[in-house]
Structure 1
Amino acid sequence: MSSVSEDEKQAFAAADSSRVVEPMDYGSISTTKSVSEESSELLDEKNGIYSQFGELADLLEGGTDSWTEEEDRRVRFKADWRIMTWACVMFLSLQLNRINIVNVLTTDFLTDLGMQQNDYNLGQTIYFFSFLVMEIPTQIMNTIVGPTIWIPTMMTTWALVGFLQTFITNKASYLATRALLGACQGGFVPGIALYVTSFYKAHEMATRLAMLWSTQYITNSISALLASGIFNMDGLNGWHNWQWLFFLEGLLSLSIGVSTFFMMPSFRKPTLSKVFTARETAILRARVILDDPSKAKALDGSRVNTMKNLGPRDILGTITDIYLVPMFLLAWLGFLPSVASYQFMTIMFRSYGYETFEANLLVIPANMTIMTGMLVASFVADRYRRRWPIPLAAMAWVLPFLILQRSLPDDTPYGLRVFCVIFTVGFPYYTPVLMSWLSANVGDQSKRALAIAIYNIGVQCGSISASNVYRAGDAPFYRNGNSILIAVAVLVVFLTISARWLYKRENFRRENVWSAMTEEEREEYLVTTTDKGNRKLNFRFQL
């Protein structure tokens, strides 16, 4: 047997691999056969389900040599143009309806409804609670019904609720619409993320998810500009300026929601879009399945097969998966410093003496900074196929600004405080990196759907926590709140290093066991094992 140092080299090389070492598993078919042997049987399996997808089986049999690099580039370009562009438009609708509450805080919204800042905090808490409660049920419905039906339905419903915010008159109606809006939007983020992952390889995902989240921050800036213009309509037809904002943005979102029924390509249907030729459609699917065979299950729209892997036991098993728990904890805590600052940014700016128009415009540089950092972080993660350094870099960015806000004396010029707030908000937002890391380390399509939903529940728990970090009694400089955020940032550093250690140690252990097995023992294990996904001995965690 080789020395320890040689074993380490083997283990680290396996951990560095961009592809998981798995037996072929094309839609509940799992054997130890070669790609060629396995693919040749696709058309005969599962009552001919794969015969709908053109030359997909032939491409899987031939592997990546079945198409040229130019065809691969063209397919990726068309996927970005046809799939990602509209996904970004869909994300715009989501963000427009959940961020406009921040814009209306720069008006007399609270006064008009007879509310205080802590009432606003309660509304945000209710919104995020409703949002997270719906994450798993919505993801299950999304998987059963299919994203091209369920997601547009969600979008149309939340657009109607957003429109109805025009007519709220008091605290009770404000809280009611917050609860309804959260319930309608809950599950969209993991749903659209799972949808997008069906069309791309693992090492392409962080950049594509970053495109989605870039839409979020572009929308924040657009929303600020729209608000600055719409607020000039104050008093028109007897409406407050914030009513006009809810009315006009609600109509825009409604038009996007209805259009999505006709614009959203389906991975399950034989024809994706007129943009793709039949061969390009087959190549798009084949390249993804060869990269991660578990994604073949996304082709199967069978409700029976779907429900088998989405029961209470599966949910509990995903939540308690020791290899996913670090990702869930990072989802909860990793973005708290930025989210807390963002939620109260306009309130802080108003307390510093800035007018409504100025406070909204100051939101723009924060959004541009966070978007730029996110795109760079995602590109680096995909380019070098390393995710764990990104959370550390984000905390290294945000900690100095938090410490500065905590320690500045009361008579510090407001311009410096604004600078610190903008760059606290504008840290390299790395949820696309973290979500792609999570997706790569699941190893099973059904479990991936649950894991992404639970991940986003963690994000919403973080948003709930963030909405209660800055309290009215701590205003206007929020020193106690910033102390909490400093502690959270340090904890995120510890969690990230722990996750890396866990994955590296497990890869090393599995490589030692796998290397010690004979070829016959490996084949017997792959045929007889009850281990699934990331529990298999030949699965390697990505770092």
Structure 2
Amino acid sequence: MVKSEEDKLSQIEVGGEQSSDTFDSDNEKKAAITTDIESTISLSSSADSKNPFIDPVVAEYYRGVYEKAKYECRGVFDPDFNWDPKEEKALVRKLDFRVALTACVMFAALQIDRGNLSQAVTDNMLKDLGLTTNQYNNGNTIFYVSFLLAELPSQIISKALGPDVFIPIQICTWSIVAMSQGALKGAASFYVTRALIGAIEGGFIADLVLWLSYFYTSKELPIRLSWFWTTLSLVSISISLAAFGILRLRGHLGLEGWRWLFILEGAITLTIGISSFYLMVPSAVQTKSRLHPKGWFTDREAKIVVNRVLRDDPSKGDMHNRQPLTPRMIWKSLTDYDLIPLYIIGLLAYAPTSTLGAYQTLNLRQLGFSTFDTNLLTIPADALHIILLLFITWLSERVNNRILICYFLPLYSVPLVAILAFWDGTLKNVWGTWAVTSLVLGGPYIHAIVVAWVSTNSNSIRSRSVASAVYNMSVQLGSIYAKNIFREDDKPLYRRGNRQLFALAVIMFPVFFLTKFYYKWRNSQRDKKWNAFTQEEREDYIRNTKDEGNKRLDFRFIH
């Protein structure tokens, strides 16, 4: 393209004598062509700067990887392909509508059926079923243990069937169990339904994050995941408002209000589950089907989606989307010690909000608020959660320093949890207690950032699938102990429990510092080895190394 435009310039320059009008016209053409050339060169340069495949050795290596893996998008892989940034921007908007919005709708189904228990207990559910606080704790523990144990098996099934098949099945199945909670009779049935919902929902988040990673770059993923968890708060607000009306059905057809809550909201999520068979596709090049006869993208758009993702992370093509994980793959991923710092963050970071969130409605009832006021008073915390979540993930796109952003969490939460732990006016000043609790629950939520961080530092589909599950397992382990920090003998102020939460909030300062130090140290080790190689040795390493994923010397951890 550039050569042909240069030929046109030459023809204008040697065209001989011209009239003034012709000369001005030709000057305009020359200026336009020059601008076009500069734009093309600039576009090519910009694309090359972000394109690891500009090195033919790297391109040859990964082409072989994609062919060997039977990667479903390998047919449109093109190291020399260029596109206009305006095209990409418009395409990302289309992805946000087709992919991110779909993920948010499906996540809403998850949050409705696992989150409406806190609304149900405000309608005297525990008294109706003859349950104590500790039995309520046991039910929450059973849910999270089941959720945790199902994480890895769910990833194995999802990787074999494809997230676009398995996720709709999950949603439909747990919705049916959620509706059955309308027939609870006592502790045994409460425990069974908690176990089933946890087991079916386990792995859902990791499955959905894997599907999102097929379409978005590592820089784009955190903000999309923030929309994902913004949905959590929006759903919490919605089900609080819905509960305000649904719980008033107590006595209708002889059923308590909390039974109506489970039945009606389960029916809503079942509708979402059925719809998700239509809303999801296997990949960018597999969008045409009986349900989507025209597909989502033009051929050029599909090519842009695939190549932009591969240039951001070439490892995203090292498995195809219906390739099961082998025992060897799983073992190598489970023993990936380089991701342990992120698992520790998952284990510790969310304990204060997990504990206070589980007990928010019960505490408000114990402080004297009515059933209906209690459900409405949960809304401000969710609204603040949305604002701060969107802010820190927006900031993470502009500040390439994840630890710096993560420090917002303890800086914000430590003083607030200290008030709950050491303030003597908790029982006397119920509105002050509500305000502090709401501020803690609405605090900076770094989960979206860390999930994307785990995905990027995995550097392979195999490791990414398992690592996402293991990270979520660490979060669930945190939820298990967090849900048991408040005990019956510590009511109603939970002084002992709040001091434990304070200690957990403080410990995040050294955890974040050590995580930063570890990844900087690992990168410096690799820099020394890589910089000592000659160019020929580097090319030989790329072609012949047996190192995989984040163990490659040419990979650097983000931090």
| 1:371-382 superposed matches below 5 A | 371-382=386-397
Give the CA deviation at 1:339: 1.1
Correspondence for 2:209: 193
- Find out whether 1:324 has 2:339 as its counterpart: yes
Q: Does structure 2 retain, via aligned residues, the 8 Å contact 1:24–1:38?
A: no
Partner of 2:100: 84
SS at match of 2:220: helix
Residue in 2 aligned with 1:534? 550
Distance 1:376 1:360, change over 3 A: same
Query: In structure 2, what is the Cα distance between the partners aligned to 1:46 and 1:505?
Result: 34
Taking a change above 3 Å as real, the CA distance of residues 319 and 47 of structure 1, as seen in their structure-2 partners, is closer
Counting matched residue pairs gives: 506
Give the deviation of 1:491 after TM superposition: 1.8
Cα offset, 1:195, TM superposition: 0.8
Distance 2:50 2:252 in 1: 64
The alpha-carbon distance between structure 1 residues 430 and 20, as it changes in their structure 2 partners (threshold 3 A), is farther
Written as runs of structure 1 = structure 2, the 5 A alignment for 1:51-62 is 56-57=76-77, 60-62=78-80
Q: Give per-residue Cα distances to partners, 1:313-359, cap 9 Å, x unaligned.
A: 44343333221001011111111111111110001111111001111
Residue equivalent to 1:213: 229
**Secondary structure at the counterpart of residue 388 of structure 1:** helix
Mapping 1:500-519, distance limit 5 Å? 500-519=516-535
1:307 equivalent in structure 2: 325
Check 1:483–1:91 CA distance in 2 against 1; reply closer, same or farther (3 A cut): same
Question: 1:470 aligns to what SS in structure 2?
Answer: coil
Please give the TM-score of this superposition, normalised by the length of structure 1. 0.89
Does the CA-based 8 Å contact 1:318-1:324 persist in structure 2?
no
Q: Post-superposition shift, 1:83? A: 0.8
Out of 405, 426, 439, the residue aligned to residue 420 of structure 2 is 405
Identical columns (%): 33
Q: How big is each residue's C-alpha offset from its partner over 1:7-40, in whole Å with a ceiling of 9 and x where there is no partner?
A: xxxxxxxxxxxx9999769xxxxx97143x5688
Contact 1:155 1:254 in 2 (8 A): yes
Distance 1:118 1:201 in 2: 44
1:445 is displaced (CA, Å) by 1.1
Counterparts of 1:388-537 in structure 2, within 5 Å, are: 388-410=403-425, 412-537=428-553
1:62 is paired with a residue whose SS is: coil
Once the two structures are superposed, residues 388-413 of structure 1 have per-residue CA deviations (whole angstroms, 9 ceiling, x without a partner) of 11221111101111101111114541
Mapped to 2, the partners of 1:335 and 1:39 lie a distance apart of 38
1:16 aligned partner: none
Q: Which has the higher contact order (CA 8 A, sep 6+)?
A: 1
Equivalent residue in structure 2 for 1:247, among 251, 258, 263: 263
Question: How high is the TM-score relative to the length of structure 2?
Answer: 0.86
Q: CA deviation at 1:113?
A: 0.5
Given candidates 344, 352, 360, the residue that maps to 2:367 is 352
SS at the partner of 1:112? helix
Contact 2:57 2:539 in 1 (8 A): no
Q: Runs of at least 4 residues of structure 1 off by over 3 A?
A: 19-25, 37-43, 45-50, 272-275, 313-317
Residue by residue, what CA displacement relative to the aligned partner does 1:270-291 show, whole Å, maximum 9, x if unpaired?
A: 3366342221122111110111
Aligned residue type for 2:312? D
Distance 1:511 1:244 in 2: 61
Deviation at 1:185, TM superposition (A): 0.5
CA distance in 2, matches of 1:232, 1:240: 9
In structure 2, the residue corresponding to 1:105 is in which secondary structure? helix
> Structure 1 residue 100: deviation in Å?
0.6
Q: Is it true that 1:224 corresponds to 2:227 in the alignment?
A: no
The equivalent position to 2:308 in structure 1, one of 260, 272, 287, is 287
Q: 1:86–1:211: structure 2 CA closer, same or farther, 3 Å change rule?
A: same
Q: Does 1:33 align with 2:57?
A: yes
Q: Could you report, residue by residue, the CA deviation over 1:116-169 in whole angstroms, capped at 9, with x for unpaired residues?
A: 111110000000000010000000110110011100000000000001001111
Which residue does 1:3 correspond to in 2?
Answer: none
Letter of the 1:229 counterpart? G
Cα distance change of structure 1 residues 48 and 178 upon mapping to structure 2, 3 Å threshold: closer
SS of 1:33 mapped into structure 2? helix
2:188 partner amino acid: A
2:276 aligns with one of 260, 285, 307: 260
Q: 1:338 aligns with which of 353, 361, 377?
A: 353
Change in CA separation of 1:326 and 1:34 when aligned onto 2, cut-off 3 Å: closer
Give unpaired runs (5+ residues) of structure 2: 1-47
Pair 32,484 (structure 1): closer, same or farther in 2 beyond 3 Å: farther
Report deviation, 1:509. 2.0
Task: Write the letter of the residue equivalent to 1:214.
Answer: T
Q: Deviations over 1:496-531 (max 9, x none)?
A: 110100111121221122112111121222233221
Residue 61 of structure 2 contacts residue 542 of structure 2 at CA under 8 Å; is this kept in 1? no
CA contact (8 A) 2:71 2:321 kept: no
Matched residue, 2:384: 369
